[in-house]
């Protein structure tokens, strides 16, 4: 549906540009070429929208095009403590992702960083937790305060010994290759 809305301005631009060549002294070939390109783009957006695509910059791509990691959502400090203890008992490292629906950088991490093959390989044996702080309620504030952070995105790593690797925290968006390197250092056995 969103792509259909994007198609409207492209179609309007195509009509305006193609009609302008009928009664103006503008360089007709250039204006017609731009109008034809806008019309083609509008058609691609409509067809892409019908096919289920969601990205106006890639209307031909089918949605969804990314792989989601199997995060377990936690809500409180008690949930975190329980999951850290379970990961420690299993001898596994742990990743805690502070996330919110309104966080643009969180969406970028979710779309571009986490689905990367190298990142998925590094995190294959890691317990993945997500603290969804969208509501910003008391439980969310307590989790944020425990780590001394103001909001997402922040990613904390725990070793298999249950101790946070605070020097390896990731704050803000990080590209996949750089994130994979940090995650590899953070998840290595102590």
- Read off the pLDDT of residues 74-112 as tens digits, 9 standing for 90 and up: 999 999 999 999 999 999 999 999 999 999 999 999 989
More confident residue, 52 or 127: 127
Cis preceding-peptide flag for 93 (omega within 30 of 0):
no
More confident residue, 25 or 140: 140
User: Residue 10 is inside which H or E element, if any?
Assistant: helix 2-20
Dihedral angle, C-alpha 48, 52, 55, 61, nearest 10 °: -70
CATH superfamily of the 72-186 domain: Glutaredoxin (3.40.30.10)
Task: Answer whether residue 64 shows pLDDT above 70.
Answer: no
The confidence score (pLDDT) of residue 164 equals 95
Domain boundaries, the chain: 2-51, 72-186
Most confident of 2-16, 39-53, 125-139: 125-139
Give the other-Cβ count within 10 Å of 31's Cβ.
17
């Amino acid at each position: 549906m969103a792509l259909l809305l994007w198609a409207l301005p492209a179609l309007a631009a195509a009509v305006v540009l193609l009609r302008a060549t009928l009664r103006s002294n503008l360089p007709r070939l250039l204006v017609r070429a731009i109008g034809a390109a806008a019309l083609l783009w509008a058609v691609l957006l409509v067809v892409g929208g019908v096919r289920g695509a969601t990205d106006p910059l890639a209307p031909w791509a089918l949605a969804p095009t990314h792989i989601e990691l199997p995060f377990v959502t936690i809500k409180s400090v008690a949930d975190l403590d329980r999951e850290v203890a379970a990961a420690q008992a299993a001898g596994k490292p742990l990743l805690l992702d502070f996330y919110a629906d309104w966080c643009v950088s969180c969406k970028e991490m979710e779309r571009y960083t986490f689905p990367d093959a190298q990142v998925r390989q590094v995190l294959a044996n890691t317990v993945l937790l997500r603290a969804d702080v969208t509501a910003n309620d008391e439980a969310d504030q307590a989790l944020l305060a425990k780590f001394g952070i103001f909001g997402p995105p922040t990613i904390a790593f725990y070793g298999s010994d249950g101790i946070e690797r605070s020097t390896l925290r990731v704050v803000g968006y990080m590209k996949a290759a750089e994130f994979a390197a940090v995650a590899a250092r953070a998840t290595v056995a102590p």
